[in-house]
């Protein structure tokens, strides 16, 4: 089977994938979710003309010139308005956020007011009409559209929704990602591996990446290299209505690489197997009804790189977000060999140099080496069949953090 170009693999993976159903959640659970419907204000903010400062509510005509003396007839504080009205020569002590009393049309800040011995105040500066008053509806009015459908509910958006009177918000549901690690050689961290065993690792990174992007994750643990075991885990994921199932390992061509066979036997229609990518070549993708299955290679770096490239866009699509990979241009700090026919993702360290970003590719690129993946903050992207590059040449980097 010919190797599928990376772009085409992504296209097939995302084909027909759209936002999940809408659910209503309280504000406390809405952070970073995607708003599923346009939001209108249920109230006007501020609901009354409010003071923006601590000081004195005045009639501007009384303080056209300074000094001007005024009688204090009451107090208006946030949460407790002054219910009377100002007559000529009168003022009301007022605090930030408090309703401006009837008759007043400006606020004299207290720094410009002197309290006289008889309790009256003297304005040291003239005050013009409207000064330090937040008009009712300055922020928004009832019925105004305040947030667009598709808006990611960042902290400011969440606060705006709250201010606009919404206790719950309609958001796109979070995709469920099930992760199945396969391999007789794997034991969970904290367990002593047998002489021929290693500790399962990439499932944790995949789960973390998915969780960070807002997915719910079901870790279905480690299954042995036996078709029935892999099939049982897959069925569990399908029964749980996972939107995405990730299998790790068993993707290659060896006799013990069983995942493809199991997927087909379980009715997963395979769209492709093997992509022109390094690392990650033996990855596969298929679908059964609404569930997408991404069969990633076992090598930890391969699976994590593939997750960055393919899983993240899937989660974004299902969540109603657009996904834009953080691709940038950089200058190579070292020469790179000519590439073969696979699109190469080379672990590298990218830092700021005098002329922009500088990428230092790491010497060792074995796809088992998590130490170099953890040290990398970017991947240098090498096109298939790219010629050799000199140090100083421009390159494209995919930022990982
Ligand atoms: N004859 C060929 N052999 C291989 C080819 C090939 O084209 N022809 N492709 C190689 C490439 S490229 C990759 S990538 C690997 C992928 O193999 P599998 O997906 O079948 O993965 P496994 O054999 O199950 O595991 C590979 C490696 O990764 C370790 N592993 C697996 N799962 C985990 C886990 N959850 N945590 C940590 N480590 C894991 C496993 O022990 C193996 O060392 O195939 C090449 N072979
Ligand atoms: O494609 Mo494999 O992931 O190179 O090692």
With a 6 A CB cut-off, is 279 part of the ligand 2 pocket?
yes
Helix axes 6-14, 312-319, angle to 10 degrees: 30
Q: Which ligand is nearest to the CA of 193?
A: 1
Quickly list H helices, 48-201: 155-163
The per-residue pLDDT for 352 is 98
The mean pLDDT of 198-210, rounded to a whole number, is 98
With a 6 A CB cut-off, is 297 part of the ligand 2 pocket?
yes
Q: How far is CA 355 from CA 171, 348, 351, in A?
A: 43, 18, 11
Q: Which ligand is nearest to the CA of 344?
A: 2
| Residue 348 pLDDT exceeds 80 | yes
Q: Which ligand is nearest to the CA of 188?
A: 1
Q: How far is the CA of 280 from the centre of ligand 1 (A)?
A: 9
The mean pLDDT of 177-205, rounded to a whole number, is 97
Q: Which CATH fold topology does 327-399 show? A: Beta-clip (2.40.340)
pTM of structure? 0.94
**Cis peptide bond N-terminal to 279, omega within 30:** yes
Residue pLDDT, tens place only, 40-87: 999 999 999 999 999 999 999 999 999 999 999 999 999 999 999 999
Q: What does the domain layout of the chain look like in residue ranges?
A: 6-20+174-319, 22-42+146-172, 50-134, 327-399
Q: Which CATH fold topology does 6-20+174-319 show? A: Molybdenum Cofactor Biosythetic Enzyme; Chain A (3.40.980)
> Of all atoms in ligand 1, which is nearest to the CA of residue 198?
41
Q: How far is the CA of 282 from the centre of ligand 1 (A)?
A: 9
| Residue 1 pLDDT exceeds 70 | no
Q: Which stretches does DSSP call E strand in 1-53? A: 22-26, 39-40, 50-51
Do 6-20+174-319 and 22-42+146-172 show the same overall fold?
no
Pocket test for ligand 1, best of 273, 296, 298, 344 (most atoms within 8 A of CB): 298
> Of all atoms in ligand 1, which is nearest to the CA of residue 278?
12
Q: How far is the CA of 103 from the centre of ligand 1 (A)?
A: 79
Residue pLDDT, tens place only, 246-263: 999 999 988 888 999 999
The per-residue pLDDT for 256 is 85
The mean pLDDT of 266-293, rounded to a whole number, is 97
Q: Which ligand is nearest to the CA of 279?
A: 2
H or E segment at 343?
strand 343-353
The mean pLDDT of 7-33, rounded to a whole number, is 98
Comparing 15-19, 143-147, 251-255, the range with the smallest average pLDDT is 251-255
Name the CATH superfamily for 22-42+146-172. Answer: Molybdopterin biosynthesis moea protein, domain 2 (3.90.105.10)
Q: How far is the CA of 250 from the centre of ligand 1 (A)?
A: 7
H or E segment at 321?
none
Q: How far is the CA of 299 from the centre of ligand 1 (A)?
A: 5
Using CA atoms, how far apart are residues 249 and 195, in angstroms rounded to an integer?
A: 20
The proportion of the chain whose per-residue pLDDT surpasses 90, expressed as a percent, equals 98
Residue with tokens 């204090």: 72
The mean pLDDT of 19-44, rounded to a whole number, is 98
Name the CATH superfamily for 50-134. Answer: Molybdopterin biosynthesis moea protein, domain 3. (2.170.190.11)
Residues with C-beta less than 6 Å from any ligand 1 atom: 181, 183, 185-186, 198, 200-203, 248-253, 257, 279, 281-282, 297-300, 302, 367-368
Using CA atoms, how far apart are residues 27 and 37, in angstroms rounded to an integer?
A: 15
The per-residue pLDDT for 197 is 97
């Amino acid at each position: 089977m010919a190797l599928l170009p990376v772009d085409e693999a992504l296209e097939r993976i995302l084909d027909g994938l759209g936002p999940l159903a809408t659910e209503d959640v309280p504000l406390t659970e809405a952070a970073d979710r995607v708003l599923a419907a346009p939001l209108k204000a249920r109230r006007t903010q501020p609901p009354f003309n409010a003071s923006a400062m601590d000081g004195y509510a005045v009639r501007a005509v009384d303080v056209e010139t300074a000094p001007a003396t005024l009688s204090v007839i009451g107090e208006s504080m946030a949460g407790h308005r002054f219910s009377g009205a100002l007559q000529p020569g009168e003022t009301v002590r007022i605090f930030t956020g408090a309703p401006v009393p009837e008759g007043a049309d400006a606020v004299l800040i207290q720094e410009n007011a002197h309290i006289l011995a008889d309790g009256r105040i003297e304005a040291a500066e003239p005050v013009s009409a409207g000064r330090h008053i937040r008009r009712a509806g300055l922020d928004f009015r009832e019925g105004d559209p305040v947030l667009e459908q598709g808006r990611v509910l960042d902290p400011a958006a969440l606060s705006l929704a709250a201010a606009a009177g919404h206790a719950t918000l309609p958001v796109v549901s979070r995709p469920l990602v099930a992760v199945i690690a396969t391999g007789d050689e794997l034991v969970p961290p904290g367990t002593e591996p047998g002489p021929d065993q290693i500790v399962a690792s990439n499932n944790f990174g995949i789960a973390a990446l998915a969780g960070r992007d807002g997915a719910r994750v079901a870790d279905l643990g480690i299954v042995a290299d036996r078709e029935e075991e892999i099939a049982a885990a897959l069925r569990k994921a399908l029964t749980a209505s996972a939107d995405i199932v990730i299998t790790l390992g068993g993707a290659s061509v060896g006799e013990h690489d069983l995942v493809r066979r199991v997927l087909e036997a379980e009715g997963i229609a395979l769209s492709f197997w093997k992509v022109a990518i390094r690392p990650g070549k033996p990855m596969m993708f298929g679908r059964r009804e609404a569930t997408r299955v991404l069969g990633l290679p076992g090598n930890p770096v391969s699976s994590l790189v593939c997750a960055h490239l393919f899983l993240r866009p899937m989660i974004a699509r299902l969540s109603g977000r657009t996904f834009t990979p953080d691709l940038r241009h950089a200058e190579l700090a070292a020469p790179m060999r000519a590439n073969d026919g696979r699109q190469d993702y080379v672990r590298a360290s990218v830092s700021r140099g005098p002329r922009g970003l500088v990428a230092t590719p790491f010497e060792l690129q074995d796809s088992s080496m998590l130490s170099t993946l953890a040290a990398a903050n970017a991947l240098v992207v090498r096109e298939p069949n790219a010629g050799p590059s000199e140090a100083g040449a421009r390159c494209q980097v995919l930022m990982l953090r």
